[in-house]
Amino acid sequence: MDINNIQVGFKAERELLVNQDNTAKKYGSGAIEVFATPAMIGLMEGAAMDAVQSFLPDGFGTVGTLIQVNHVAATPIGMKVIAKAEVTQVNGKRITFRVEAYDEVGLIGEGVHERYIIDEVRFLEKVASKGTK
């Protein structure tokens, strides 16, 4: 597997509209109908995945292994959120990203995310064998 195509500086973005399905109340992570921290994290992880996926060989992907973020501002239903991810380090199969999320007013979250490159078939075989020994 050649992962040398992945370089510091690669970037991607994902966006969504805050609605009833991605609020803290719906996720069970809070009791208020504002954008949920778990939804923000998922959006950040998706942006990070998008930043590198097209540079991986067929049959390879990434899995998230670390997320350290601060959710610094609430976002109401009806507002757009954009997550941005940028590769900051590549160390073998481990890729580190700077992640940020913005709503239409400004920064709502920021932090660090790590993903590991995996062979999807081997990874799923290992997962399927879990608990069978």
Can you give the CATH number for the domain in which 32 is found?
Answer: 3.10.129.10
Is the residue at 5 inside a domain?
A: no
Q: Is residue 1 part of a domain?
A: no
Owning domain of residue 108? 11-128
Residue 71 is a catalytic residue: yes
Please check whether residue 133 is in contact with residue 112, taking contact to mean a CB–CB distance below 8 angstroms.
Answer: no
> Which residue in the list 23, 62, 71, 86 is annotated as catalytic?
71
Given 13, 33, 37, 88, the catalytic residue:
37
Known catalytic residue at 45: yes
Whether residue 133 lies inside any domain: the answer is no
User: Given this model, what pLDDT does residue 4 score?
Assistant: 65
In a domain, residue 3? The reply is no
- 62 part of the active site: no
Domain count, the chain: 1
User: pLDDT by residue for the chain (133 residues), tens digit each?
Assistant: 456 689 999 999 999 999 999 999 999 999 999 999 999 999 999 999 999 999 999 999 999 999 999 999 999 999 999 999 999 999 999 999 999 999 999 999 999 999 999 999 999 999 999 878 6
Q: Residue 3's pLDDT is what? A: 62
Instruction: Say if 16 falls within a structural domain.
Output: yes
Task: Write down the pLDDT at residue 132.
Answer: 80
4 in a domain, yes or no?
no
Q: What is the pLDDT of residue 14?
A: 98
Tell me the pTM.
0.94
Annotated catalytic residue within 13, 15, 33, 45: 45
**What span, in angstroms and rounded, lies between the C-alpha atoms of 50 and 92?**
19
Distances (CA, A) of 8 to 58, 87, 96: 21, 5, 9
pLDDT value at residue 131: 77
Residue 121 counted as domain residue: yes
Q: Where are the beta strands (DSSP E) in the chain?
A: 11-17, 60-71, 80-91, 94-103, 107-119
